[in-house]
Amino acid sequence: MLRLDHVVFPIRDAARSLAFYRDVLGLSLAEAHDGDDWDSFPWLMMIFPLPGGGEIVLVELRDAQLPDYGALPRDARHYAMAIDAVSDLAAWRSRLRTAEVRFWEEDHGAQQSIYFEDPDGVVLEITAPPSQLPATPGERAQQVVRRWLGAAHP
C-alpha cells in the first residue's frame, strides 16, 4: 500500500525558509545535505520530519529560476497537514498572527481549514479533523472522473 513519504518544495532563501518552517510551524530540522551537481546548480536540501510520518523537504537551487506560483489559484496547489480537533485551530490562528503570517479560513463542511503561504508562496493548509476516505474505491469517484474525461475542456 502506498503512503506519503515526502514532498519537495523549491525555495529561494534558505535562511528565511528555515526560520518559517522551524519557528512558525514548529518543525525540527532533522537532516541537511548540499552539493554543486544538481543539473549544474549548487544546492541545499533541508529535511523536516512530520509527526505521524512523512517529510517536508526544502531545496534551494542557487541561481535557478523558480516558477511564478501566482499563475494558479492559490488553493489549487497546496500541502495539507491535519490536526486532530477543530478546537486546536485556535492555537494555530494565534501562532500565525504572532508570526505576522496572513491566513484565510475555509469551512469544508466536515472539515475546517486554515490556509497560508510559506516565504516562497507555497500554500500550506492546516485542517481538522483529518480526512477520512473510504477504504475501497467509490463508484461516485469513478463517475466523476468518467464525466470529466468525457467533457470538452478548453
Give the residue carrying C-alpha cell 503512503: 3
Total domains in the fold of the chain = 2
Q: Is 36 domain-assigned?
A: yes
- Read off the pLDDT of residues 15-59 as tens digits, 9 standing for 90 and up: 999 999 999 999 999 999 998 887 888 889 999 999 888 899 999
Give the C-alpha separation, 31 to 15, whole Å: 15
Dihedral sign, CA of 15, 122, 58, 65? negative
- Which residue did the predictor score with more confidence, 148 or 113? 113
- Is pTM beyond 0.85? Reply is no
Residue 17 sits in which domain range? 1-66
Tell whether 62 and 1 lie within a shared domain: yes
Q: Do residues 27 and 6 share a domain?
A: yes
Is residue 145 situated within a structural domain? no
| Residues 9 and 51 grouped into a single domain | yes
**29 domain-assigned:** yes
Residue 127 to residue 89: CA distance in whole angstroms: 8
Is 90 exceeded by the pLDDT of residue 142?
Answer: no
